[in-house]
Amino acid sequence: MTKIILVAVVLLLLGGGAYLFLRKGSNQGTAPTTNQEGSGTSASFSNSKKAAHYESNTPEHGAILAGVPINVVINFNFDLANPSEIRISGTTSPSDVGSGDTVVDANKLSMRRAIRNDAPDGIYTVNYTACWADGSCHDGQFQFKIDRSLVTEFEDLTGKDEVTINLKNFAFNPTKVKVSKGTKVIWVNQDNIIHTVNTDSHPGHNYFPGQNSRDLSKGDTYSVTFDKEGIYPYHCTPHADTMKGQVLVE
């Protein structure tokens, strides 16, 4: 009986050791981020690097977008100063595809840079330098992908002067819409609970500041006329994790 117990203990110890060894081996190194968005669409992204005082960015790291972002916005919890800078380069277009200079917002907590609307499909790397009033600077990096084939997932509402999106059952209906430049998009809350229409990111809400509603009760409406081509990701602030939408302007 004693021998049987001893053998059982040895086998248990050996099994536990093998489990720990295999687990340790599987955790070595950090795999690149893989994001999937849409039917059969995926991409591998390198790990992001966050500078000191970083809060959020739009597009978010690993985002796969059906159109060109109107700009890159990076938020911090500390006042920015010159020479803060954003550089945007792609695998299919190695040169910087940013348009114009990097701009520090009036509140000094965000910096942004526009993107050329003709930027081709591919993975883009955003390298940024965030500087503070004391002269110190810190670097960061993230990536996103443009894949225009994803336009098939958007409801084509181009050619209309006005388009309505219903806020119903804790969702934007339709969730993804493609509209023409100059279209007025109207959101109508049909739920018995407060919703909002807020531009990404959360809680910065400054990718496209013109798309930030008040609290919308049942029956309330909110509208925005989109005059610039590009993609506009947005969300409902009270339900930011699950209630998301996109407007693609062509």
**Residues of each annotated binding site for Cu cation:** 195, 236, 239, 243
Residues 99 and 87: their CA atoms lie apart, in Å, by 10
Nearest to 136 by CA among 52, 228, 235: 52
DSSP-assigned letter for residue 120 = P
Q: Cis check for the bond before 233: say yes or no (omega within 30 of 0).
A: no
Residues 64 and 40: their CA atoms lie apart, in Å, by 12
Residues 41 and 145: their CA atoms lie apart, in Å, by 11
The torsion of the CA quartet 130, 236, 208, 203, rounded to 10 degrees, works out to -20
Residues 6+ apart with CB under 8 A from 225: 182, 183, 184, 185
* Binding-site entries: 195, 236, 239, 243
Residues 125 and 26: their CA atoms lie apart, in Å, by 28
Residues 180 and 221: their CA atoms lie apart, in Å, by 21
Residues 128 and 82: their CA atoms lie apart, in Å, by 12
Tokens 């999937």 identify what position?
36
Beta carbons of 191 and 169 less than 8 angstroms apart: yes
